[in-house]
Amino acid sequence: KRSGVGLVLDESKSLPTPSMFFVPTSQLMDRPEQLNSTKSTKESPQTVIPLPKIGAKVRARVIKVSKLDGIIILTMKRSVMERSVVSIADLRVGQLYDATVSHLENFGCLIQIEHCIRALIPLEHLSDVKLRRPHEKYSDKAPVKVRVLSIDAHRNRVFATARRSLVKADDIQILSSFEQAANAVGENFVGTISEVLASRSVLVSFFGSLRGLVSLNELGVSENASLKQIEQ
């Protein structure tokens, strides 16, 4: 049925709890400029959005779920339905994504993955080498290719890397869980040194917040080397 702010679709009887499907007016269809239309954008605000007839079958995509209210928010916008990613649930650790720089901070670079998911590239993952002028590469709205490092769905946090060695490698093996590591003894994986410990060892970060401990002997570094030399 129609409402003042969108459409209410038939309640799903296949879900474990009663839920209402709702399409806000803003999600009914794309504006002409979003579809690269030749129409003037001046006409867009005055465009009347035609509502589907009651009983008509429509295609829609879930973009948000409110478990507390029992409401499932949908979109019928073609530009959104054709995206590979519309929410954090669509992201996969280790996968490559197109992103856009939102802002460069002293703790890293804030980005938008696929124009809809906020994520952070930590400072140590901006590049394989320390950038003298990071603002030149990571200017506002600049495109950047990233690989997802970890996802915290409960806190709605996503961390990604833009290191060339992790993004450009075609044959990279993703190690993201302890269970996976336990079943992959003897295999090679790519990691990043995240911390040098006073115990003559280093912490190596992999994907999915997984960390490993590596001794200096395993790294082929002299035990007499200073911590500063190891960090370099």
Which residue ranges does the chain devote to CATH 2.40.50.140? Answer: 88-167
Strand partners, 22: 8, 73
Span 171-188, pLDDT tens digits = 788 999 999 999 989 888
What's residue 102's pLDDT?
93
What's residue 135's pLDDT?
87
CATH, domain 2-81, list 1.10.3470, 2.40.50, 2.70.98, 3.10.20: 2.40.50
What's residue 58's pLDDT?
82
In CATH, what number does 178-231 get? 2.30.30
Q: Which CATH class is domain 88-167?
A: mainly beta
Low-confidence ranges of the chain (pLDDT < 50): 4, 34-45
